[in-house]
Amino acid sequence: MVQLVHTIKAVRDAVADARRRGLKAGLVPTMGALHDGHGSLIEAARRECGYVVVSIFVNPLQFGPTEDYDRYPRTLERDVAYCGEKGADLVFAPEVREMYPSPSLTFVSVEKITDTLCGASRPGHFRGVATVVSKLFNIVLPDVAYFGQKDAQQAAVIKRMVSDLNFPLTVAVVPTFREPDGLAMSSRNRYLSKEDRQAALVLYRSLQGAMSLLEHGERRPDVIRSYLRSTIEAEPRARLDYADVVDPETMQPVTEIEGDVLLVVAAYFGEARLIDNMLFSLPVR
Amino acid sequence: MVQLVHTIKAVRDAVADARRRGLKAGLVPTMGALHDGHGSLIEAARRECGYVVVSIFVNPLQFGPTEDYDRYPRTLERDVAYCGEKGADLVFAPEVREMYPSPSLTFVSVEKITDTLCGASRPGHFRGVATVVSKLFNIVLPDVAYFGQKDAQQAAVIKRMVSDLNFPLTVAVVPTFREPDGLAMSSRNRYLSKEDRQAALVLYRSLQGAMSLLEHGERRPDVIRSYLRSTIEAEPRARLDYADVVDPETMQPVTEIEGDVLLVVAAYFGEARLIDNMLFSLPVR
């Protein structure tokens, strides 16, 4: 039976109690509006940890002034039931005033990795993410924290933050969960009209095509970039934000393809901004 | 018998072991060159905690390019012996490469509180302090961390950081420890020539005079500021950095004296930059 708590004290007490019982604590930080992508994170935590906490908090600090903070979907009751189905032990759903009793003067920022891609398109976004995730780590004190590969830049930022600041935990990155037709699951997919939902498949198609080029031996990053860009731009309902080939740790554009590279795309469909990515590993000879 | 360790793993293991034995862990973060000011922090930790860790790390991140990082005094052997005398259990003295195996991309910054005083005179200083203290908190996982009131702005920054980021610990601020003639103890006092050592007493004298004015009913902050400034400027060997009356939590200059105010001064004597402060509490009527 999943338990729902709203205060920092309650989640700390619950995790301390679980730890006294010898259980390993897993944290799945979310903004709610849960879908099967989150489900796969909860399932991964369930497999590896004796005590699974899902946090649900739409963090104002990571939204820009023109972004969708106010209309971001909030479905707490359904989310809690879903966490229960997936086997979570505790849902931590604080109010904004519990997390920010006064405006935060303290910020955690990760340089370089956040200069590109979503970091460039969404100024301040990753500073808001790193700050709230630091808070959640200090509140929940998990042994393992789970993030989705779908938000590849976020995962890279959090991994670097954990390493740089010596957070006493492991970051687990879980593969992107897709709809049967390939669309990466995202809470923002529910913003899509029927036509845009169909058009949004172009992100997956562009990545698959680029992977196929790479698998057939293409090694010029600019050719891959052009392919991604022109594929997305050929979809009239898509407005391209970025399409790039980057280093999966630093998120900097690569000049040659060696080792792992990450193909990353972002585009608007109507007002919804969607992202997706795929990792290509050069076969070892 | 005090134990000396150099690795993150060793300090984590030692603290985890102490905690399993039911002991509360206290951390005294220092840059070494220990004096009786540090001694009073260690003694406070000893009184309140079952397990006392002193960290000794001259953190390059908090020194400006023209500051005294290279010549900052390093006296590890003496420091470890001193920690033993004062009753510490563990000294954690990492090398730079243990704390920064690669250059940190992650920074913790505290806004507003760091805009004034030492924050204005030493750009980047408090970002370096907040970042390394976050690392030390995540490495040692103390229940209580001890800081000196002598570094009042640092204490305010750390308290705010702990509150904003929900670090699961208490910050204890220990009163300034002074030489018999009133000079606040500081590792940088050893930079002083005999003449400058004598001249540096002007900081204490200026604060005492200002406290006396306040105790006799003076309530105009600018009168107090002028008094501090002119007292220090009357000492030919002193080069004033700042003299101010500020809010002890925000470190912003006050426009009127109500509640607690902090008198703060900083000046150079030769190449040594010294700071001092005193807290004035308005008597409750």
User: Over 70: is that where the pLDDT of B285 sits?
Assistant: no
What three-state secondary structure class fits A26? strand
A166–B8 C-beta distance less than 8 A: yes
Q: How confident is the model at residue A285 (pLDDT cuts 50, 70, 90)?
A: low
What three-state secondary structure class fits B23? coil
CA distance B45 to B28: 8
| Residue numbers in A near B111 (CB within 8 A) | 105-107
Say if CB A245 and CB A261 are below 8 A apart.
yes
Name the closest residue on chain A to residue B115, using Cα atoms: A105
Question: What does the block give as tokens for A81?
Answer: 């039931």
Could you report the per-residue pLDDT of B20-40, keeping only the tens digit for each? Answer: 999 999 999 999 999 999 999
Catalytic residues of B: 38
Residue A216: active-site member: no
CA distance A9 to A19: 15
Say if CB A259 and CB A284 are below 8 A apart.
no
Say if CB A262 and CB A278 are below 8 A apart.
yes
A12–B168 C-beta distance less than 8 A: yes
Residue in the block written with tokens 């000046």: B267
The CA-atom distances, in angstroms, between A65 and each of A54, A60, A61, A170, B228 are 27, 10, 10, 32, 44
In total, chain B counts a number of residues equal to 285
**φ and ψ at residue A115, rounded to 5 degrees:** -75, -25
For residue A105, give the nearest of B104, B135, B164 by CB distance.
B164
- Closest Cα in chain A, distance from residue B91 (Å): 18
A106–B130 C-beta distance less than 8 A: yes
Position B252 scores a pLDDT of 98
Span between the terminal Cα atoms of chain B, in Å:
50
- On average, the pLDDT of chain B sits at 97
Would you call A134 an interface residue with chain B, using a CB distance cutoff of 8 Å? yes
| Residue numbers in A near B106 (CB within 8 A) | 108-111, 130, 160-161, 164-165
Report strand pairing: B90-92 vs B51-56: parallel
| Residue numbers in B near A111 (CB within 8 A) | 105-107
Say if CB A274 and CB A266 are below 8 A apart.
yes
> What domains are defined for chain B?
3-174 (3.40.50.620), 187-278 (3.30.1300.10)
Could you report the per-residue pLDDT of B176-218, keeping only the tens digit for each? Answer: 999 999 999 999 999 999 999 999 999 999 999 999 999 999 9
Chain pair A-B, CB pairs under 8 angstroms: 71
For residue B161, give the nearest of A106, A164, A166 by CB distance.
A106
Q: How confident is the model at residue B261 (pLDDT cuts 50, 70, 90)?
A: very high
A112–B168 C-beta distance less than 8 A: no
**φ and ψ at residue A19, rounded to 5 degrees:** -65, -40
For residue A164, give the nearest of B12, B104, B161 by CB distance.
B104
Q: What pTM, to 2 d.p., does this model score?
A: 0.97
